[in-house]
A = this chain, B = another copy of it.
Amino acid sequence: MYSVSEIKRPANTTQTASLWNGLLETGQAEMNVRAGEPLFFEGDEADFVYEVLDGVFCCYSLLPDGRRQVTGFVHPGDIIGLGSQATYHTNCDAVCDAMVRSIPRSRLMRVAEERPELGSRLLNCATEQLAGMQQHFVLLGRKSAKEKLASFLLTLARRYAGEDAGEVTFVLPMTRSDIADYLGLTIETVSRTFTKLKTAGVIDLPQSTTVHVRDILRLEETAEAMDCGV
């Protein structure tokens, strides 16, 4: 029904230029992280900045009673751990087998002092993250469960398949629990909402981890004005 070759996977994403491409010749190291394993913990010394080469990571905070909020998923080409603080301010796990390129923060900052171009790229990267987080505030604070999940799937669909495809099929690398904690819901509500979107004919779920968007326009309508400023 859906040939494997059509199914988009985050791991397939081939990124173009690295953030520090051409500016750092040495000091980088590549590193594999297995599914479910941590890259770092909240409060750890923030000695490294990472660029995701393959796989997906999940950044989250915990409350003492165990409640968890996923603050973001980090995909190939994205940067993790950018920050001037001495320690990381979230935990970070790989949600599937992954690979990162690491660079010592001290070296990155030293080079940024010499090469203003790098500094400006870093600032750009940080403010892009800020802009993305604004939208997530709206989602968490003001959207219904259905709108939340539709918004989330829409973001993934666009990332994996570009804006304009009418139909897309992709694999969810993260679990229902990760999605729930990202959207501020429970796993039961996420599951029920998946079923509702399926029943409504907006998506198909050939497997629980495979999403087929049947009608991206209806998904956009359901997500309620993701990008509409006014």
By a beta-carbon cutoff of 8 Å, the part of chain A in contact with chain B is 41-43, 61-65, 67-69, 71, 82-85, 89-90, 109, 112-114, 116, 119-120, 122-124, 126-131, 133-138, 140-143, 181, 183-184, 224-225, 228-230
* Copies of this chain in the oligomer: 2
Return the contact of A126 from the options B62, B112, B127, B143 (Cβ within 8 A). B127
* A136 proximity list for chain B (CB < 8 A): 137
Return the contact of A224 from the options B65, B69, B131 (Cβ within 8 A). B65
If A85-B131, A122-B123 touch, whether A141 touches B69 (CB-CB below 8 Å) is yes
Q: Which 10 A-B pairs rank lowest in CB-CB distance, beginning with the nearest?
A: A141-B184, A119-B119, A126-B126, A140-B140, A42-B229, A83-B127, A84-B124, A69-B138, A113-B116, A64-B225
* A224 proximity list for chain B (CB < 8 A): 63-65
Show 14 residue pairs from A and B whose CB-CB distance is below 8 angstroms, ordered by the A residue: A61-B135, A62-B230, A64-B224, A64-B230, A69-B138, A71-B134, A82-B127, A84-B120, A84-B124, A85-B127, A85-B128, A89-B130, A119-B119, A119-B123
* A42 proximity list for chain B (CB < 8 A): 229-230
Cα-based distance from A82 to B141 in the complex (angstroms) = 23
Residue on B nearest A44 in the bound complex, by CB: B229
* A229 proximity list for chain B (CB < 8 A): 41-43, 61-62
Cα-based distance from A143 to B63 in the complex (angstroms) = 9
